[in-house]
Structure 1
Amino acid sequence: MTSTAPVEAPGAAHRLTALAEDFLGGPLPVRLRAWDGSESGPADAPVVVLRSRRALRRLLWQPGELGLAQAYVTGELDIEGDLAQGLRTVWAAQRERGLRPPRLGPADRTRALAAAARLGVLGPRPAAPAAQARLRGRLHSRSRDRAAISHHYDLSNDFYGLLLDETMAYSCGYWTSEDPGHGPADAQRAKLELICRKLDLRPGSRLLDIGCGWGSLTLHAAEHHGAVVTAVTLAAEQAAYVRERVAERGLAERVTVVCQDYRDIDGGDYDAVSSVEMGEHVGDAEYPAFAAALHRLVRPRGRVLVQQMSRGAGNPGGGPFIEAYIAPDMHMRPLGETVALLERARLEVRHTESLREHYARTIRAWHRTLEDRWASFVRLTGEETARVWRLYLVGGALAFEEGRMGVDQILSVRPGPGGDSAMPLTPHRWYEGLDRP
């Protein structure tokens, strides 16, 4: 008589792999390791670790990018090893093999729920992580914009002091050298100098810096070009920081720091206006009024420089993760649409320059700093917020590297009577010596 041993039920990873491949219509590009220790998938692929059934419960309630992000920032889901390589593999599979979550019919949903029940995944909706933004009020009202800016920029000056270099510039740098000794601070100083040259700043020039951040451009323009600067920010911690730096450097006669909404800026006749990575926060419907304000605030023949991130026409927002955790309500559009909006406001666009590869390199430098100082970030903000920023920086660098996002400097002028622009015939002087410290 032959005895038959009982057949052991497959582990959670095997069940999940079979279910996912069935729904996606192709093999998973990653290897799964489940909470019960089981593993399934290609042996040489990045390993996605499901530490808890709660990770899958989040995906049932919130399918897609946001559910995955919630599971990652809470530590319920992880990627073993190089997070960037894991994300690169998944996005490559989506792009090259067309893996996309299908539209599930009633029968598919029933089957998925039955599988979830067998795995013990069903349950009440998990609470959103504490780091997720919770904004209220009308989109891009003054109070909501103030809350959105506060969520991101008032995280604390200590946090950004850990993350950024000594310039405290939280925007794309301009990398002029491949030398290993050429670091983030060099790239930021080159960017600041390039902006000042494009704006033709000279001693006594009146500059309006809208969305001044921690004052990197304001301080550089006042200190190195003798400009008289009005620096505007909505973030109270930024305003306090810039005022301290102004006092330390003896620039009080040249710099005024104002904590207010750009819509409330009075006056005009500035020689130059800058807006460095602030336009993304304005909103789609509000951008025409923002562009009109730029025209109103600058004098005839004065220059306006907008440095702004962009996305393809099919993905105009910041994306569910960025909008939920990093920059709520942000809106990006293709470069051409922004140029058109500036032109409709009667600004003449004279020069655009893509810095996409520069941003990939800038963000990778920030990510290295985050990892090198991981324990300090966790002590300062808690592990959940540190994991939010790890995901943000890794994903952001890849988005610029792969061309899913861009960033551009757009230089405009408000023409004078008869169309006079006072612009140079060639821009070569802007770039001379930028590779020197």
Structure 2
Amino acid sequence: MSGAAGRVAQVAGRFVDGRLPVRIRAWDGSEAGATRESGAPVVVLNRRRALRRLLWQPGEMGLAHAYVSGDLDVEGDLGEGLTAMWGLVRDGVVTPRKPRLPELPGVLAHAARLGLLGPKPAPPPEAIRLPRFARLHSKLRDRAVIHHHYDLGNDFYEFLLDATMAYSSGYWTDLGAGPTAENLRAAQDAKLDMICRKLGLGPGSTLLDVGCGWGSLPIHAAKHYGAHVRGVTIATEQRDHVNQRIRAEVLADRVQVDLVDYRDVPARIEGYGEFDAVSSIEMGEHVGDGNYPTFASILFGAVRPGGRALVQQMSRRPGDHPGGGPFIETYVTPDMVMRPVGDTLTLLQRAGLEVRDVHVMREHYVPTCRAWIATLEAHWDRAVALAGERGARMWRLYLVGAALAFEENRMGVDQILLARPTTTGRSGMPSTRASFEPAGIPAS
């Protein structure tokens, strides 16, 4: 082996048992590692700093910092590359390990010759910086987390998402449909329509949407079902966007969105305790384990006896990292908690809600993420203009990794339909599921 790539391959071999799973192209143009004929992914080291990051933080976090910063690239399709590398580790072909004690002098010698020894590189500025001394899931910290991820700017999310502005899994009536913008819009409309049907909404129904995002459900429920909706969010950009949509759709008499923390809903939202229905779409993951009983109790308290609740929430298998792993916790949502769906059901039941239906939608998140990826890739220059080069690279890595995690059952998403029974046990639910499935959006 010659050149920087050869020396890198020698060092990298000390960190894995089994063959090196990638081909390496170094900053000097040299290549080494797996042969091109093997079809192995090609990892491009644009700068020495990529390796310094990996020496300081071996594994997912070092790779993420290196990729987001542009120090490291994967040639070709990033999703295919991550799938291939993850598959080798998952199937035991490659086993990561720490260098053995006798190997350390050689590793350090190679690192010195490559010019890698030095201080730990700072993470890219896209990594979240939380307020010092802010307690976990305090209102101050939660606002900082939301500001980091959701207040990036409405222009970016309008670019990435479909016209409904739904930032949650769609419902793909044909999972084989391509991840096009048109199919994504149809999947999001089908999801919103199914939620409204499950909640039994109709003209004059009242709905509270906790964590309403950019207003996809409130607007849909009011426009197509005649419901009167209150939404709450703690993201200023989201609130402002929904208010613009309310004015544009002439729905001010049916939709109101407020900047309110979910913990303040009982005191701040008029009509609390009398809503026909309450919903929370992919917001429950963000309240944390300690606060989830409070969150569940607020949902229970918001809906009248005989009313319904619907929670759509991401989940993880028992024993899997509940926060989604170091990358998600550093760049996306640091305090997220994804638990097995059964554990969430128990928490909701303890609050007094009756579980009526659980709809596993894990496979539906795969084409949803891939449709967002297709938009990102097709309009890369626009993404860079809105989020910066590093920001766009972070989103690419996030969405590609998320699609793979849902596809391989390392993350899930579930729609949970609940009822608040009356004191005599009446749920108000239909006797069959026939009314749940979308059958076309009602005329507005």
Shared fold (TM-score, shorter chain, > 0.5): yes
User: Would the aligned equivalents of 1:94 and 1:100 in 2 still touch at CA under 8 Å?
Assistant: yes
Task: Output the CA distance in 2 between the equivalents of 1:88 and 1:147.
Answer: 33
- Which one-letter code corresponds to 1:301 in the other structure? G
Matches within 5 A, 1:227-376: 227-266=227-266, 267-314=272-319, 315-376=321-382
Matches within 5 A, 1:35-50: 35-40=27-32, 41-43=34-36, 44-50=39-45
Deviations 1:363-384 (A, max 9, x none): 1000000011111111122101
User: Would the aligned equivalents of 2:360 and 2:415 in 1 still touch at CA under 8 Å?
Assistant: yes
Report the secondary structure of 2:424's partner residue: helix
* Alignment equivalent of 1:18, drawn from 10, 14, 20: 10
Task: Output the CA distance in 2 between the equivalents of 1:154 and 1:349.
Answer: 34
Number of the residue aligned with 1:6 = none
- Residue range with higher mean Cα deviation, 47-56 or 99-108: 99-108
Number of the residue aligned with 2:124 = 129
Task: Output the CA distance in 1 between the equivalents of 2:230 and 2:442.
Answer: 28
User: Would the aligned equivalents of 1:356 and 1:400 in 2 still touch at CA under 8 Å?
Assistant: yes
Gaps of at least 5 residues in structure 1 are 1-8
Number of the residue aligned with 1:82 = 77
Number of the residue aligned with 2:171 = 174
Matches within 5 A, 1:346-425: 346-425=352-431
Measured after TM superposition, the shift of residue 436 of structure 1 is 10
- Which one-letter code corresponds to 1:161 in the other structure? E
The 1:228–1:113 alpha-carbon spacing in structure 2 relative to 1, beyond 3 Å, is same
Measured after TM superposition, the shift of residue 344 of structure 1 is 1.5
The 1:262–1:417 alpha-carbon spacing in structure 2 relative to 1, beyond 3 Å, is same
Task: Output the CA distance in 2 between the equivalents of 1:98 and 1:354.
Answer: 31
- Which one-letter code corresponds to 2:10 in the other structure? A
Number of the residue aligned with 1:155 = 152
Number of the residue aligned with 2:19 = 27
- Which one-letter code corresponds to 1:184 in the other structure? L
Deviations 1:251-297 (A, max 9, x none): 11111111011000023221111100111111122112111111111
User: Would the aligned equivalents of 1:233 and 1:258 in 2 still touch at CA under 8 Å?
Assistant: yes
Measured after TM superposition, the shift of residue 14 of structure 1 is 2.0
- Residue range with higher mean Cα deviation, 10-19 or 219-228: 10-19
The 1:179–1:80 alpha-carbon spacing in structure 2 relative to 1, beyond 3 Å, is closer
TM-score, with structure 2 as normaliser:
0.93
- Which one-letter code corresponds to 1:386 in the other structure? A
Measured after TM superposition, the shift of residue 432 of structure 1 is 4.8
- Which one-letter code corresponds to 1:159 in the other structure? F
Deviations 1:112-135 (A, max 9, x none): 333211221111111110111001
Q: Does 1:139 align with 2:136?
A: yes
Task: Output the CA distance in 1 between the equivalents of 2:18 and 2:64.
Answer: 23
Measured after TM superposition, the shift of residue 298 of structure 1 is 1.3
Report the secondary structure of 1:418's partner residue: coil
Measured after TM superposition, the shift of residue 97 of structure 1 is 1.5
- Residue range with higher mean Cα deviation, 167-176 or 111-120: 111-120
- Residue range with higher mean Cα deviation, 27-36 or 216-225: 27-36
Task: Output the CA distance in 2 between the equivalents of 1:10 and 1:65.
Answer: 28
TM-score, with structure 1 as normaliser:
0.94
- Residue range with higher mean Cα deviation, 216-225 or 311-320: 311-320
The 1:225–1:35 alpha-carbon spacing in structure 2 relative to 1, beyond 3 Å, is same
- Which one-letter code corresponds to 2:9 in the other structure? T
User: Would the aligned equivalents of 1:48 and 1:80 in 2 still touch at CA under 8 Å?
Assistant: yes
Task: Output the CA distance in 1 between the equivalents of 2:331 and 2:42.
Answer: 25
Task: Output the CA distance in 1 between the equivalents of 2:21 and 2:390.
Answer: 26
Tell me the matched-pair count: 429
User: Would the aligned equivalents of 2:312 and 2:414 in 1 still touch at CA under 8 Å?
Assistant: yes
User: Would the aligned equivalents of 1:29 and 1:42 in 2 still touch at CA under 8 Å?
Assistant: no
The 1:284–1:107 alpha-carbon spacing in structure 2 relative to 1, beyond 3 Å, is farther
Report the secondary structure of 2:435's partner residue: helix
Gaps of at least 5 residues in structure 2 are 267-271
Deviations 1:384-405 (A, max 9, x none): 1000001111111111111111
- Which one-letter code corresponds to 1:42 in the other structure? T
Report the secondary structure of 1:241's partner residue: helix
Report the secondary structure of 1:330's partner residue: coil
User: Would the aligned equivalents of 2:224 and 2:442 in 1 still touch at CA under 8 Å?
Assistant: no
Task: Output the CA distance in 1 between the equivalents of 2:343 and 2:93.
Answer: 28
Task: Output the CA distance in 2 between the equivalents of 1:255 and 1:23.
Answer: 56
Measured after TM superposition, the shift of residue 22 of structure 1 is 3.1
Root mean square deviation of aligned Cα: 1.8
Report the secondary structure of 1:208's partner residue: strand
The 1:413–1:109 alpha-carbon spacing in structure 2 relative to 1, beyond 3 Å, is farther
Identical aligned pairs, as a percentage?
58
Deviations 1:284-314 (A, max 9, x none): 2211211111111111121111101111222
Number of the residue aligned with 1:190 = 190
